[in-house]
Structure 1
Amino acid sequence: CENLLLDNHLRIKLADFGFSRYCVDPPRTENKKNVIEKKILSRTFCGSAAYAAPEILRGQEYNPKLYDIWSAGCILYIMIYSKMPFDDSDIKKMIEAQMTKGALRFGSEGSSEVQDLIVRMLQPEVTQRWPIELIQKHSWLSRQTNTDNHGSSISYVNAMTTNRIQTQGGVNQVQKRHGSPIYA
């Protein structure tokens, strides 16, 4: 089941109450001539196979932020096409499909812009997968976002926020602008 929450500005937040980890990129360090940015990789493997990136399914260490991009790409695909992007009944075949260029099937429901965004989010090669900063600037999202100046429509919910929500019973009421309340 998707873990989608709404904040007080009706922006969608992704959360997983079954597992969370506070993840921070370490500060930049000098290494002779070049500045190197070291990324923290995760070794904990959990979650639903249907939403798992290829690096997870192959048991490799992974960048948790780029893994979340993959999962969000799966959710976006499901929201647009009302089906899973990959068949998870056979994990070995699913990995092959994930790694095969052109394996994603798009119907007529989604525009070429949203298809492009999904392809960039579901890049099997981690170094080619778009980070959140590029996704936020994608033409499909900038066309969709509300211009009420509440900041970015996409951001990470950190473990502290998730824990606070969880201790409040896991259900928060968000007042919808018009109509009945939404529960997140």
Structure 2
Amino acid sequence: MITDFLRDQAFAIAWLALMAAGWFGWAQEDPKPRLRGVWGAGSVAGFLLAIAFGLLVWQNWDTPSALDGRYWVFGVVVLAEILLIGGGCLVLARRGQSRWYGWWIGLCVALHFVPLAWVFADWSYLALTALQVLGLLAMRPALSRAEYATSRWTCPWIAATFLLYAGLSAVVFLLQHGYPF
């Protein structure tokens, strides 16, 4: 995240690192056995980064945010994302295509960063969206031919891009602010 709001940047780093840990965890649903350790290490890295920047969020909670006076906009974006994910998963379940949950949810999560780029006035979210969506679209043909859950490749992809984005944001943060704790 690139912003003038210290709390927002620390929160984005902590949240996306935590989400990376969760997506790496979901990747354990049906992984190639040799990748279990890699996905586990990714989860641990995400948790450690989330803790480090979560402490900064806690310490700086009373500082300004891009959301001041417009938390409702953020809520609308998240609600729309939840409804889209839920509706899509319901359709997939009724069609007997539950193995596509990972891919569908990954796509919805990636696309929710488009309005967030506007909400936070941070256009780097568009780069994250583009990277995630391009990866999801590129893997779709291979996933269509496969029998396994799409989470095998979708979840590590989303997780890795979240961890990469959080890591790059952490470097930007540390160069601008150091670790002010």
Give TM-score scaled by structure 2 length. Answer: 0.30
Structure with the bigger percentage of strand? 1
Structure with the bigger percentage of helix? 2
